[in-house]
Amino acid sequence: MDGDSADRLAAENAPVPERVQVGNSPEYVTERKLGQGGFGQVYVGRRVSGGSSRIGPDAYEVALKLEHQSSKACQYGPPHEWHVYQTLKGCYGIPSVHYKGHQGDFYILVMDMLGPSLWDVWNSAGKAMSTHMVACIAVEAISILEKLHSKGFVHGDVKPENFLLGQPGSVDEKKLFLIDLGLASKWKEGTSNQHVGYNQKPDNFRGTIRYASVHAHLGRNGSRRDDLESLAYTLIFLLKGRLPWQGYQGDNKSFLVCKNKMATSPAMLCCLCPAPFKHFVEMVTNMKYDEEPNYSKFISLFDGLIEEPASRPIRIDGALKVGQKRGRMLVNLEDDEQPKKKVRSGSPASQWISVYCARKPMKQRYHYNVSDSRLHQHIEKGSQDGLYISCVASSANCWALIMDAGTGFRSQVYELSPVFLHKDWIMEQWEKNYYITALAGANNGSSLVVMSKGL
């Protein structure tokens, strides 16, 4: 177990305080657990005495978000999320933080108690949502993201679990909130207001695989387009109940999901969905890294799907303000309308492909101009040193080998044959669960076949 895993396990198993009081907050009794994510645990906190409202600093019941001081996010002090909430104080659609502080082994936020997440609502409704409800979610979520982006941040983990409604029975029970700012990052420089420079670290994935943008899979800096692409996937999931890339497992899950997303056109993704959803997917997946989103236009796409105020399952106050402020743009929603820009077609394209190896430095050696008679000597010496053949080539009837310790193989055999591909030998190794991992042919017709297992 590595250090990060050990710290994470210790943090998860550490007992939370039975009572919480941070700063000048009232004292709360820690009750049932509401949830746990990558950035802390959330519990119900019930005020020991007093409390006269359901929300606000005087609420009798609050949400307590606790993060253990040994967690990765707290290695330099209070978690990054604290700074984000402080900067976004009063931002539309972001829950209020009333108190924060350190108690025992935990950094603690005292926040307004909210209601169910969109995931909970979708699940309790038989894993289906009406077009009207998803359209209301769409316009209000776009509005919330606009307000968040206007403060210079991108969320970085937009998904159904991170959109919550207000408390049932309260005035906010139909109001949408965006939570969990642990992955939020700046999209513009603090002093110059310029967009942060483009960067890419292909081994640095941040977010949730199912809903992450293609750019996030490829390790590109987060920008406003990524939140909107994740929102598009969230909406299609809520509407259809499934995304085409669900079901992958294993260490290469992220790669396979990314590959599927790149190969899925908006038309395929939004099959049987009303046209506005397809247009939204087309627009947001076609955005440039530093492009200013046209939030008003995005909202106007869904105008025709939203019914009268009395029947709206989600309040769209923020979306209405966006419309009043900027003026709605009429968008032609005909099914046969062709987008003006090139959109993701569903076919792999060269500009989407990054080839990258995230291996740690590894032991490797190569041999070239190796004759048939000396081949076994080089391979045997490498094998004794824990190296396996990863690549072979031939030139002028001599061989070249690359051997390294990072292949992941646990066993390997090879055959130098006077004919090109010794079929019987290959089939015999297949029966032993060996598979071809390298081969080459020489000018004289001979061949070298390497078969391995243990990947």
CATH number at residue 61: 3.30.200.20
User: Has residue 342 been placed in a domain?
Assistant: no
User: Has residue 38 been placed in a domain?
Assistant: yes
**Are 446 and 399 within 8 A, CB to CB?**
no
Considering the domain architecture, whether residues 392 and 279 belong to the same structural domain is answered as no
Considering the domain architecture, whether residues 107 and 122 belong to the same structural domain is answered as no
Domain end among 53, 81, 112 = 112
Considering the domain architecture, whether residues 420 and 292 belong to the same structural domain is answered as no
pLDDT of the residue at 20: 95
> Would you say residue 240 has pLDDT above 70?
yes
Rounded Cα distance between 298 and 303, Å, is 10
pLDDT of the residue at 385: 87
Considering the domain architecture, whether residues 296 and 406 belong to the same structural domain is answered as no
Give me the half-sphere count of Cα atoms (radius 13 Å) on the Cβ side of residue 93.
30
Whose tokens are 């750019």? That residue is 215
pLDDT of the residue at 360: 53
> Would you say residue 357 has pLDDT above 80?
no
Considering the domain architecture, whether residues 132 and 89 belong to the same structural domain is answered as no
Domains of the chain: total: 3
pLDDT of the residue at 333: 43
Q: How many CB atoms lie within 10 A of CB 214?
A: 17
The model's confidence at residue 23, banded by pLDDT at 50, 70 and 90, is confident
pLDDT of the residue at 81: 93
Residues of the chain by 3-state class (helix, strand, coil), percent to 5: 30, 20, 45
Considering the domain architecture, whether residues 74 and 221 belong to the same structural domain is answered as no
Considering the domain architecture, whether residues 129 and 108 belong to the same structural domain is answered as no
User: Has residue 336 been placed in a domain?
Assistant: no
User: Which residue is catalytic, options 157, 172, 227, 404?
Assistant: 157
Considering the domain architecture, whether residues 106 and 149 belong to the same structural domain is answered as no
**pLDDT tens digit string along 207-222?**
999 999 999 999 999 9
The model's confidence at residue 4, banded by pLDDT at 50, 70 and 90, is low
65 is in an annotated binding site: yes
Q: Quote the mean pLDDT of the chain.
A: 88
User: Has residue 329 been placed in a domain?
Assistant: no
**pLDDT tens digit string along 366-410?**
888 899 989 999 999 999 888 999 999 999 889 999 999 888 888
Considering the domain architecture, whether residues 377 and 268 belong to the same structural domain is answered as no
Q: Provide the residue range defining the domain that includes 44.
A: 2-112
Domain end among 324, 351, 382 = 324
**pLDDT tens digit string along 172-218?**
999 999 999 999 999 998 778 899 999 998 888 999 999 999 999 99
Residue 426, both tokens? 């290959």
pTM: 0.73
User: Has residue 196 been placed in a domain?
Assistant: no
pLDDT of the residue at 449: 95
Considering the domain architecture, whether residues 103 and 153 belong to the same structural domain is answered as no
Rounded Cα distance between 371 and 57, Å, is 80
Active site residue 404: no
Q: What are phi and psi of 130, to 5 degrees?
A: -70, 155
Considering the domain architecture, whether residues 257 and 380 belong to the same structural domain is answered as no
Considering the domain architecture, whether residues 156 and 279 belong to the same structural domain is answered as yes
pLDDT more than 70, % of the chain: 87
pLDDT of the residue at 136: 97
pLDDT of the residue at 346: 66
User: Has residue 347 been placed in a domain?
Assistant: no
CATH number at residue 226: 1.10.510.10
93: left (phi over 0), alpha (psi -120 to 50) or beta: left
**Are 98 and 196 within 8 A, CB to CB?**
no
Task: Answer with the residue of higher pLDDT: 425 or 353.
Answer: 425
User: Has residue 7 been placed in a domain?
Assistant: yes
**pLDDT tens digit string along 283-293?**
999 999 999 99
> Would you say residue 162 has pLDDT above 70?
yes
**pLDDT tens digit string along 94-153?**
999 999 999 999 999 999 999 999 999 999 988 889 999 999 999 999 999 999 999 999
Q: 3-state class of 418 per DSSP? A: coil
For 328-345, give one letter per residue: b (16+ CB within 10 A) or e.
eeebebeeeeeeeeebbe
3-state DSSP of 297-342 = HHHHHCHHHCCCHHHCCCCCHHHHHHHHHHCCCCCCCCCCCCCCCC
User: Has residue 334 been placed in a domain?
Assistant: no
**Are 46 and 64 within 8 A, CB to CB?**
no
